[in-house]
Amino acid sequence: MTEVKGFRFATAEAAIKAPGRKDCALILSDTPAACAGVFTRNKVIAAPLIVSKPRIAAGRCQAVLINSGNANACTGEPGLEAARRSSAALAELLGVDEDLVAVSSTGVIGVQLPVDRLTRALPALCAELATDKATAVAEAIMTTDSFRKVSSRELSLGGVSCRVLALAKGAGMIHPNMATMLGFVMTDAAVAPQLLQPVLNQAVNGSFNSITVDGDTSTNDMVLMMANGAAGNAQVQPGTPEAEQFACAVDEVLLDLAKMIVRDGEGATKLVQILVQGACDAQQARIAARSVATSSLVKTAFFGEDANWGRIIAAVGYSGVEVNPDVIDIFFDDVQVVADGLSTGPQREAVATQVLKQPEFRVTVDLKLGEGSAYYYTSDLTYDYVKINADYRT
Amino acid sequence: MTEVKGFRFATAEAAIKAPGRKDCALILSDTPAACAGVFTRNKVIAAPLIVSKPRIAAGRCQAVLINSGNANACTGEPGLEAARRSSAALAELLGVDEDLVAVSSTGVIGVQLPVDRLTRALPALCAELATDKATAVAEAIMTTDSFRKVSSRELSLGGVSCRVLALAKGAGMIHPNMATMLGFVMTDAAVAPQLLQPVLNQAVNGSFNSITVDGDTSTNDMVLMMANGAAGNAQVQPGTPEAEQFACAVDEVLLDLAKMIVRDGEGATKLVQILVQGACDAQQARIAARSVATSSLVKTAFFGEDANWGRIIAAVGYSGVEVNPDVIDIFFDDVQVVADGLSTGPQREAVATQVLKQPEFRVTVDLKLGEGSAYYYTSDLTYDYVKINADYRT
């Protein structure tokens, strides 16, 4: 399912990337949609975010212009001007209010956006608009991604069939607070505007903010959700079962995309869930899970398919959370390798090594101190990660 | 200069590592020395540290027993017993008080220390004691190190020649708070005991706590300083020029060793100083420098010899410190690539690329907000880092 009522999509070549590569995309709602957004917490913020944030904060959005190949970050006043010019040109072409246009960029930092090329491509882009081109958009916004990322759910809200469709890009620099990560969620459900932001926040926390590839956070990250009501359902109100259903669907599509991003982590060969339970509280569990998920030593051990739990216990230990080393349990999937802080022996470790040979598995760390639990998804750290990132601009 | 009056050194094979490898070492002062120590802040603490910390805190130490090949960490009560037994056996052989013996271990986590083998090796170890074997100790304590790390200074204190000799091991897991890092500082200067801990703290902050290879912190780190007064100088008192001279010498030897550790970072080919200046205060400068120094994306760009300042500015931006992106300057050695937040152009970047081809260079980030400055030393992230750490236990 890659169509959502009342949304159209388009892609084009603006010659920002090399010839033959689609590098700009458009998402258009037939009518102004209610919207919500989550943005990078990096203090260095790219021009398109500076332009789009207040527009999205106003709560309505109709069109999103996205380019890949150039982040329009660290580009100063000319960069801001470029973001404004491209959104103004698109608004004029579409005949919509400029404040209803969001712009989004991803790619190299510190190089001026070739805005003339981008605006010249806009008529072709608008001419391409069609209901069935969401996957093409997912492809055009890729940078180091090796596959496009699309997820969707259908759900019945008050007896009316509604859809949630989400696209994302992101492979390197993926870390909480979303690093070089763009996400777009389109729904044809009618949803009370005040419900959108909390639903998006919760879904982002459980997905894009619970993954890590390399711990960096970019200047350009954003997740934008638009709800245009084209499905014709009665508007979903806060505190109702429908609100719960809708939030679940958004949670699910974003978690799908987040896992795809980790799986596509630069050079990654493994998708690993780090589950910390038994922490004093959920916040402590999250800090400990993140510490394990971001440890280069843990991640290289995953690549080496080495059940090296010493590195895991060390990463928990230096995370700063409350721990009692003498009670910790550690499992690889269901295989326990540490019981009360001690090795369960070489035989169990040999079995655990088989778990690590899988492309996906879970590491559970039970601190046995309280009720707090949290997860992170991470990848292994591989030769190819180094290769891709050493050569990115060359 | 690798001798210090009143200190003797020895190494032996205890069959903890593979046959033919020295894996235990002894440092002995002829008389009880004043001492100070700095220890890992990991909450999971290895058995030898649990045993040694209170002894060193008592302010006097005469002998240090070190083994490589086994960290004696996550080994529970049997591990503690092993640490105590080996130190008791050594104390008896040497005829010194057990409280004057410190023990230190490095190697694999979670495997019981073969304490019988270690104690059986002690007579041979004591028989080897000699004044000129400090470099042999530096070699015996290596794990993934590719070269031994020794530094020394001679200085005149009140007209008397004194010596400071320091040994260290550490290559992987090097990060502030010292990860799998052992350091031993021996001086024959007489120094007021209350001076030793502050001098060591300051020297560690400017050296081992200002380097990073991969951001992990181990369960076993310690730096131990011993001053036995064998040089015969008048005891150095706090607040005197001699105290300043002595502190300088300790700062220098530890910085020497810290830079060797980064240069020997697993798979590293570059030694890079990240200097942040113009921060609001020194603490903010330190946080920003650390953020840049630990970024996997920055470190792979160094490996790729890519003057990718966008990653540097992004790492400063997500560090959380006060920044104004529109005034930041960035230099590679003396080549300015960013002026007031904007690229200085492709020509300057091409010159900067030449800087990155050197084995050592400096990145200066000037935030232009205040007087705070701090540095970090880091390495590049390479194929070999992944290889070494993926294969460590196999």
Question: Of the given ranges (A139-143, B314-318, B387-391), which has the lowest mean pLDDT?
Answer: B387-391
Least CB-CB distance to A325: which of B74, B214, B320?
Answer: B74
Please say whether the beta carbons of B171 and B385 come within 8 A.
no
Q: Which of B42, B113, B219, B270 is the best substitution to test chain A (most A C-beta atoms within 10 A)?
A: B42
Task: Inform me whether the C-beta atom of residue A82 falls under 8 Å from chain B C-beta atoms.
Answer: no
CB contact residues (below 8 A), chain B span 241-280, against chain A = none
* Residue B277, amino acid: Q
| B385–A386 CB contact, under 8 Å | yes
CA B97 to chain CA centroid, Å, is 28
Our CA-based measurement puts residue B394 at a distance from the nearest CA of chain A, in whole angstroms, of 8
Kindly state the percentage of chain B with pLDDT values over 70. 94
Our CA-based measurement puts residue A344 at a distance from the nearest CA of chain B, in whole angstroms, of 10
| B394–A306 CB contact, under 8 Å | yes
Q: Which of B318, B338, B367, B369 is the best substitution to test chain A (most A C-beta atoms within 10 A)?
A: B318
| B387–A383 CB contact, under 8 Å | yes
Q: Which of A177, A311, A386, A392 is the best substitution to test chain B (most B C-beta atoms within 10 A)?
A: A386
Cα(A323)–Cα(A55) distance, rounded to whole angstroms? Answer: 45
**Per-residue pLDDT reduced to its tens digit, B122-162:** 999 999 999 999 999 999 999 878 899 999 999 999 999 99
Least CB-CB distance to A214: which of B41, B177, B297?
Answer: B297
The widest CA-to-CA distance across chain B, in whole angstroms, is 70
Residue A320 burial by Cβ neighbours in a 10 Å radius (0-12, 13-18, 19+)? middle
Q: Name the DSSP class of B301.
A: H
Quick one: tokens of B236?
């150095």
* Residue B99: partners with Cβ closer than 8 Å, 6 or more residues away: B55, B58, B60
Residue of B nearest to A328 (CA): B74
Determine the average pLDDT of the residues in B286-297. Answer: 90
| B216–A308 CB contact, under 8 Å | no
| A389–B300 CB contact, under 8 Å | yes
Q: Name the DSSP class of B130.
A: B
pLDDT at B392: 53
Residue of A nearest to B78 (CA): A342
Check whether A392 has a pLDDT greater than 80.
Answer: no
Residue A117 burial by Cβ neighbours in a 10 Å radius (0-12, 13-18, 19+)? middle
Cα(B277)–Cα(B279) distance, rounded to whole angstroms? Answer: 5
Cα(A114)–Cα(A70) distance, rounded to whole angstroms? Answer: 9
pLDDT at B214: 58
Determine the average pLDDT of the residues in A32-46. Answer: 92
Cα(A212)–Cα(A177) distance, rounded to whole angstroms? Answer: 10
Determine the average pLDDT of the residues in B23-29. Answer: 97
CB contact residues (below 8 A), chain B span 173-202, against chain A = 173, 177
Check whether A30 has a pLDDT greater than 80.
Answer: yes
Task: Inform me whether the C-beta atom of residue B43 falls under 8 Å from chain A C-beta atoms.
Answer: yes
| Of residues A394 and B61, more confidently modeled | B61
Task: Inform me whether the C-beta atom of residue B339 falls under 8 Å from chain A C-beta atoms.
Answer: no
Cα(A175)–Cα(A217) distance, rounded to whole angstroms? Answer: 6
Check whether A265 has a pLDDT greater than 50.
Answer: yes
Q: Name the DSSP class of B98.
A: G
Residue of A nearest to B107 (CA): A310
Give the confidence band of A301 by pLDDT, cuts at 50, 70, 90: confident
Q: In a 3-state reduction of DSSP, which class is residue A342?
A: strand
| A297–B71 CB contact, under 8 Å | no
* Residue A201: partners with Cβ closer than 8 Å, 6 or more residues away: A38
Least CB-CB distance to B306: which of A73, A219, A393?
Answer: A393
pLDDT at A390: 67
Determine the average pLDDT of the residues in B74-88. Answer: 96
Determine the average pLDDT of the residues in A225-247. Answer: 97
pLDDT at B389: 64
Check whether A177 has a pLDDT greater than 80.
Answer: no
Cα(B240)–Cα(B229) distance, rounded to whole angstroms? Answer: 17
Per CB-CB distance under 8 Å, the chain B contacts of A321 are 43
Least CB-CB distance to A390: which of B45, B300, B309?
Answer: B300
State the alpha helices, DSSP H only, in chain A.
Answer: 47-57, 76-94, 115-127, 134-140, 193-205, 241-263, 282-294, 296-303, 309-318, 346-356, 383-390
Check whether A176 has a pLDDT greater than 60.
Answer: no
Determine the average pLDDT of the residues in B376-382. Answer: 88
| B41–A301 CB contact, under 8 Å | no
**Per-residue pLDDT reduced to its tens digit, A55-73:** 999 999 999 999 999 999 9
Least CB-CB distance to B44: which of A216, A219, A313?
Answer: A313
To the nearest whole number, what is the mean pLDDT of chain B?
A: 91
Quick one: tokens of B179?
């990860």
Please name which of A146, A211, A220 lies closest in space to residue A174, comparing C-alpha atoms: A211
Determine the average pLDDT of the residues in B56-70. Answer: 96
Determine the average pLDDT of the residues in B24-32. Answer: 98
Quick one: tokens of A44?
């260095």
Give the confidence band of A386 by pLDDT, cuts at 50, 70, 90: confident
Residue of B nearest to A43 (CA): B317
Please say whether the beta carbons of A95 and A129 come within 8 A.
no
Check whether A182 has a pLDDT greater than 80.
Answer: yes
| A300–B108 CB contact, under 8 Å | no
Give the confidence band of A43 by pLDDT, cuts at 50, 70, 90: confident
| A76–B342 CB contact, under 8 Å | yes
Radius of gyration of chain B (CA): 22
**Per-residue pLDDT reduced to its tens digit, B254-291:** 999 999 998 887 778 899 999 999 999 999 999 999 99
**Per-residue pLDDT reduced to its tens digit, A341-379:** 999 999 999 999 999 999 999 999 999 999 999 999 998
Cα(A38)–Cα(B57) distance, rounded to whole angstroms? Answer: 50
Cα(A267)–Cα(B40) distance, rounded to whole angstroms? Answer: 32
pLDDT at A297: 82
| A389–B301 CB contact, under 8 Å | yes
Determine the average pLDDT of the residues in B89-108. Answer: 96
Our CA-based measurement puts residue A346 at a distance from the nearest CA of chain B, in whole angstroms, of 10
**Per-residue pLDDT reduced to its tens digit, B177-229:** 334 789 999 999 999 999 999 999 999 999 988 887 655 567 888 999 999 99
Our CA-based measurement puts residue B116 at a distance from the nearest CA of chain A, in whole angstroms, of 20
β-pairing, B160-169 vs A360-366, is unpaired
pLDDT at B46: 93
Provide the whole-model pTM. 0.81
pLDDT at A175: 43
Task: Inform me whether the C-beta atom of residue A44 falls under 8 Å from chain B C-beta atoms.
Answer: yes
Residue of A nearest to B301 (CA): A390
pLDDT at B179: 46
Task: Inform me whether the C-beta atom of residue B346 falls under 8 Å from chain A C-beta atoms.
Answer: no
Determine the average pLDDT of the residues in B5-28. Answer: 95
Check whether A173 has a pLDDT greater than 60.
Answer: no
Residue A163 burial by Cβ neighbours in a 10 Å radius (0-12, 13-18, 19+)? buried
Give the confidence band of A179 by pLDDT, cuts at 50, 70, 90: very low
User: φ, ψ for residue B22 (rounded to 5)?
Assistant: -65, 130
Cα(B249)–Cα(B236) distance, rounded to whole angstroms? Answer: 13
| A341–B215 CB contact, under 8 Å | no
pLDDT at A212: 76
Our CA-based measurement puts residue A307 at a distance from the nearest CA of chain B, in whole angstroms, of 9
Catalytic residue, candidates A180, A212, A217, A344:
A180
Please name which of B212, B209, B197 lies closest in space to residue B255, comparing C-alpha atoms: B209
- Sole residue written with tokens 């409280």: B99
Label residues A360-376 b or e (16+ Cβ within 10 Å = b). Answer: ebbbbbbbbbeebbbbb
Bridge partners (DSSP) of residue A225 are A36, A185
Per CB-CB distance under 8 Å, the chain B contacts of A390 are 300-301, 303-304, 306
**What number of other Cβ atoms are within 10 A of residue B177's Cβ?**
18
Query: Measuring CA to CA, how many Å separate B200 from each of B39, B203, B204, B246?
Result: 11, 5, 6, 11
Specify the DSSP element, H or E, that contains A273.
Answer: strand A271-279
Determine the average pLDDT of the residues in A269-278. Answer: 95
Count of pairs with CB atoms under 8 A, one residue in A, one in B: 204
Task: Inform me whether the C-beta atom of residue A308 falls under 8 Å from chain B C-beta atoms.
Answer: yes
pLDDT at B33: 98
Determine the average pLDDT of the residues in A139-143. Answer: 91
- Domains annotated for chain A, with CATH where assigned, are 7-263 (3.60.70.12), 271-390 (3.10.20.340)
pLDDT at B31: 98
**Per-residue pLDDT reduced to its tens digit, A78-131:** 999 999 999 999 999 999 999 999 999 998 888 999 999 999 999 999 999 999
Q: In a 3-state reduction of DSSP, which class is residue B369?
A: coil
Active-site amino acid positions of B: 180
Determine the average pLDDT of the residues in A153-161. Answer: 96
